[in-house]
Structure 1
Amino acid sequence: MKKIKWLFFDLGHTLVNEDVSQRKRIENAVSYLNSVSVSVTYEQFYHEVQNASRNFKSPFITAFSKFSHDDVFIPYPAEFEVLYDDTVPVLSALKNKYDLAVIANQFAGTDKRLKNFGIYDDFKFVLASSDVGVSKPNPVIFKTALEKAGCYAYEAFMIGDRIDNDIAPAKSLGINTVWIRQGYGGLQSPEKFGCIPDFIVNSLNELLDIL
């Protein structure tokens, strides 16, 4: 492997554990659907979320549309997000060897979220889709990251939980990839999508065996 200089990280289900937030959003969706006489259980809704994830579709939106076409927005309760237990120690170890950055599909306010988590200063820059005007998997956001980093694709790694949004577009540009099997993205099949990551890990801590 050629010398690696930069590590690009996704946020949700990579550095940030969204399990509780997503569970509560499903609970709120089920409560709403029941209130408008749609008979659905948490288990049924979650089953559709899993199916959507396996088929590279938007998990929550796809699942909701299976039960209702109401034009209603069920907010995502971000206040329940937490860092994975190994996020801080792994970032602390890696920032001594590489330059770190974030590439994420996020609304405005990503910097503030990272500051609240206490990890903002670990990164040289944070590139959110709201900053660039395009979202992953659009390769423009990855090209912009390479330009900001001032490095070649082969000098960087993309680390993320989704084959479709993180791994495939990064590999198409020649960026090295690590698929972290956490969250809904962990249900995806690289073979089904036709894109095999360079490395596969089940937790952030396993990155230290690779990098």
Structure 2
Amino acid sequence: MEMKKPKMILFDYGQTLVNEQLFDGVKGTEAVLGYATKNKYNKSAEEVQDYANNLNQELGRFDPEKRHLFQVEVPNYMFTKYLYESQGIEIPLSSEEIDSVFWDAAAPGKPTEGIREFLTFLKENQVRTGVISNISYCGNAVAKRIHDCIPDNDFEFIIATSEYMYRKPNKHIFELALEKAELQPEEVWYIGDQYQCDIVGAGMAGLFPVWYVGAIEMKYEPKVDILTIKHWKELINLIEKLD
């Protein structure tokens, strides 16, 4: 795919914009249970999270080897509503509040190194920006997390797949972003950390894919035909040379 200066760059969220700590579901569930007004069976956070893990396994969610095959999002508001009510637990919070309480405890995050400088560079060079995230947390919770971590961002939109049914690598979620941007695929770059969902998905939708591996904790297999970066400075240097 020909490389030319983009009119817009779309970003993945997790391990691209924000480096999240290793996920700890028990800590998240424990934080949510702190708000419970009823726990009929005196379930512990470990017990509730074990049940949640079993449900997710049945659904096929979050399997790192197969997540690209799971292209329809299950929003957390449906999942947690079933999870807690089926265990005789009442949580007097909105679904958005449950998402934030759980997420903040289970996987705190901080901006990836150099991302704020890169976003400033893009703004100064009139390159528009937006976000597409495969994520089950509600859209408002996702936007809040991003704005809290990167308050000086200039994102035109933040697409959380929990609000739009389709997950990357499905082309429909990329088509939605292009419609919002009013741009053609060849005018847009997409940057993400997950090869099948982000890189293959964006490429199949006609966007120029960039593989960011600066926050990946697992080993990855370099692809000779894919632009791969470990630090945002590399992209600044590259874009400065493009027409």
Shared fold, TM over 0.5: yes
How far apart are the structure 1 equivalents of 2:177 and 2:110? 25
Structure 1 ranges of 4+ moved more than 6 A: none
Q: Give 5+ residue unaligned stretches, structure 2.
A: 29-45, 51-62, 69-82, 85-101
Aligned match for 1:100, one of 129, 143, 147: 129
The residue aligned with 1:90 is 118
- How many aligned residue pairs are there? 172
- Structure 1 residues 137 and 99: alpha-carbon distance in aligned structure 2, compared to 1, 3 A threshold: same
Gap regions ≥5 residues in structure 1: 37-51, 59-71
State the alpha-carbon separation in 1 of the partners of residues 22 and 217 from structure 2: 16
1:95–1:17 CA distance, 2 compared to 1 (3 A): same
Alpha carbons of 1:164 and 1:26: their partners in 2 closer, same or farther (altered >3 Å)?
farther
| Other structure's SS at 1:167 match | helix
Paired residue for 2:165? Answer: 133
Residue of structure 2 equivalent to 1:143 = 175
> In 2, Cα distance between the equivalents of 1:10 and 1:197?
20
Equivalent position of 2:7 in the other structure: 5
| 8 Å Cα contact 2:109/2:149 also seen in 1 | no
Question: 1:11-33, CA deviations, whole angstroms, 9 ceiling, x for partnerless residues?
Answer: 11111111x233x45999xxx59
Tell me the SS of whatever aligns to 1:124.
coil
Could you say which structure has the larger radius of gyration?
2
Tell me the TM-score normalised to structure 1 length.
0.68
Whether contact under 8 Å (1:161, 1:179) holds in the other structure is yes
TM-score by length of 2: 0.60
Q: Distance in 2 between the 1:111 and 1:120 partners?
A: 13
Q: CA deviation at 1:138?
A: 1.4
Identity %: 29
Q: Show the counterpart of 1:45.
A: none
Q: Is the CA contact (8 Å cut-off) linking 2:190 and 2:202 kept in structure 1? A: yes
8 Å Cα contact 2:18-2:149 kept in structure 1: no
Give per-residue Cα distances to partners, 1:94-143, cap 9 Å, x unaligned: 12220000010122111111221233642111111022121112111101
Return the letter of the residue paired with 2:119: L
Q: Distance between the aligned counterparts of 1:13 and 1:88, measured in 2? A: 14
- RMSD of aligned residue pairs (Cα, Å): 3.1
